[in-house]
Structure 1
Amino acid sequence: MSWHLGRLCAFDLETTSVDPEDARIVQAYAGLVGGGLEPVDVCDLVVDPGIPVPHEAQRIHGLTTEYVREHGDPADAAVDIIVSAVASALLEGVPLVGHNVRYDLTVLGRECRRHGLPTLEDRVDGLVGPVLDTQVLSKHVDQYRRKSTEINPATGEPYGAQQLRTCAIAFNVGWSDEDAHGARYDALTAARIAWRIGQIAGLPLRDRPRAQGRELVRFNHVMVPLARLHQAQEQWAREQDAGWAAYFREQAEKTADVDEQIEFHRRAESCTGHWPVYPFAAEQQGQLA
């Protein structure tokens, strides 16, 4: 049986920052779906991070400082619930599914350390997997997809080619701007994308949908057992990060603005190729207090 027909654990976090080293969790979802069984919401929490929620983050997920303080669980207790839910799924062999899930897993790890809790790695004997990252998978099977022609109101720029919204539309699994960017909605959308990728991969090449006139032959690469697919994503993530790093360095050379150069080089350096979680450096521990 193909992996997409089995049970999946959909996972997503909403946070205070795009930087996983600094981000605090404000909402979390983990739910079991698929496999011919009823869906189960294992973890669906609003979290009080103990710090103000920046306006930039509020614009994305709509969770204000006042709301999370009134309705959120204390961060230390909530983080323990979240990591326990994820660990339980992995220990049962259920693959964890998310979009750019290494961000979420890195945030979760940093939060565990921040609150003195055993990390996910501690709870699964260091083996974080199997993981299905729909951003990595989507970019591999359709590497030449272009940016959306629609403008993201939060940034004033087109939606990226591998953003969750663009992927959901490209794979025809449905998307609602009104409901998006809640942890539950985003997690379940990622699970639907993963299922659709697996479904397409199982079709003969002649029956697969075409992307902007292109045959999608790379779907063949995902028709492997979960353990091999996890390992393949490690390699694909390294290759994808290397491409981004080269792009950012190229952009740095093109601009005469020093601040822009610094930012492009910072982005290039952040493309480390680590997946499915960025390793924790001991020297960073003081920054997490």
Structure 2
Amino acid sequence: MTTWHRNPLIGFDLETTGTDPETSRIVTGSVVRYGGGQPTAGRSWVVDPGVDIPAEAAAVHGWTTEAARSAGRPAAEAVPQIVTLLAEEAWQGRPLVIMNAPFDLTLLDREACRHGVAPLVDRVKPYVIDPLVLDKRVNRYRRGGRTLTDLCRHYVVQLDEAHTAQADAVAACAITWKLANRHRWLTRMELGELHEQQVQWAREQAEGLRDYFARTPGKEELAASVRLDWPLIPAPRTGVSDA
């Protein structure tokens, strides 16, 4: 029997205007198909977010406001294309591999609502695999950071162009494959079961972080900002602020 990690994985990554998924906008995005015995392929977008890109965000991903306006397509055009492609892959039963999934999926959800597009989760219930959640599960007590770059270093995954959406999406898939290959018990679960297990694991991990903040002098106020939702922070379907 072929396990899920031997079939195609669909990597998804966004580079954005900020770190708040409720208000940040997409600057670049990429959806890649990785593995399954086929060459890696995908589609990428440069997006004019319709707002200024802060200097601190541009310093991370390299896209200034002027560059995005010049090279990017309007968000109202790009967002439905991204959502539709992800929905098509999810309908085929392929898992969406997303590093720190609540950020990217929540931001995409808010962008969809902002532009009058049916959100992904209103079209299909995708199976999501988050290498950050998996790594914390199998290496709970490992010291050091757990950014994508950190995980690439730990799992010996090449990442030549960090903070480009396509490179990051491919790297997330490669990390996931190595995690599954190293911890075979993960591959004995069906995708639906693995998804539901991650809901529980992510909640436990977030609760642990919240408790750490609450008992650490100087960090107590951070506890209230820890969200327990995975893989998406839900929002009312009454509309999203344009702020």
Q: Same fold (TM over 0.5)?
A: yes
Is 6-15 or 115-124 further displaced after alignment? 115-124
State the 4+ residue runs in structure 1 displaced beyond 6 angstroms.
Answer: none
Q: Which amino acid aligns with 1:248?
A: F
Normalised by the length of structure 2, the TM-score is: 0.95
Q: Which of residues 145, 165, 169 in structure 2 aligns to 1:187? A: 169
1:9-158 correspondence runs (5 A): 9-41=10-42, 43-124=43-124, 127=125, 129-147=126-144
Task: Name the SS of the counterpart of 2:59 in structure 1.
Answer: helix
Residues 1:163 and 2:160 aligned together = no
Cα pair 2:5 2:187 within 8 Å, conserved: no
- Check the 8 A contact 2:6/2:36 in 1, yes or no: yes
How far the C-alpha of 1:221 sits from its partner, in A, is 4.8
Is the counterpart of residue 239 in structure 1 residue 236 in structure 2?
no
1:6 match: 7
State the alpha-carbon separation in 1 of the partners of residues 190 and 122 from structure 2: 25
Aligned residues: 242
Instruction: Quote the Cα distance in structure 1 between the aligned partners of 2:115 and 2:21.
Output: 15
Give 1:223 shift: 3.4
Work out whether residues 4 and 187 of structure 2, in 8 Å CA contact, stay in contact via their aligned partners in 1: no
- What are the Cα deviations for residues 221-272 of structure 1, in whole angstroms up to 9, with x where unaligned? 5531111111110000000000111111123xx13xxxxx6xx52x322322
Equivalent residues of 2:31, 2:86 under 8 A apart: yes
Matched residue, 2:241:
287
Aligned mates of 2:40, 2:60 — CA distance in 1: 26
The percentage of counterpart residues that share the same residue type is 40
Which sections of structure 1, spanning at least 5 residues, go unmatched?
148-160, 203-219, 256-260
Whether contact under 8 Å (1:47, 1:75) holds in the other structure is yes
Q: Which has the higher contact order (CA 8 A, sep 6+)?
A: 2
Contact 2:5–2:177, Cα closer than 8 Å, also in 1? yes
Root mean square deviation, CA, Å: 1.5
Q: Which has the larger radius of gyration?
A: 1
SS of the residue corresponding to residue 39 of structure 2 reads coil
In the TM superposition, residue 201 of structure 1 has moved relative to its aligned partner by: 1.6
**Following superposition of structure 1 onto structure 2, how do residues 189-208 of structure 1 map, counting pairs within 5 Å?**
189-202=171-184
- TM (norm. structure 1) is 0.80
* Cα distance per residue 1:24-74 (max 9 Å; x no partner): 000000011111123221x30000000000011111111111110000010
Letter of the aligned partner of 1:188 in structure 2? Answer: V
Q: Quick one: distance in 2 between partners of 1:200 and 1:107?
A: 31
Equivalent pair of 1:21/1:288 in contact (CA under 8 Å): no
1:201-240, aligned counterparts within 5 Å?
Answer: 201-202=183-184, 220-221=185-186, 223-240=188-205
CA distance in 1, matches of 2:74, 2:66: 14
DSSP-derived class of the 2:9 partner:
strand
Secondary structure at 2:241 match in 1: helix
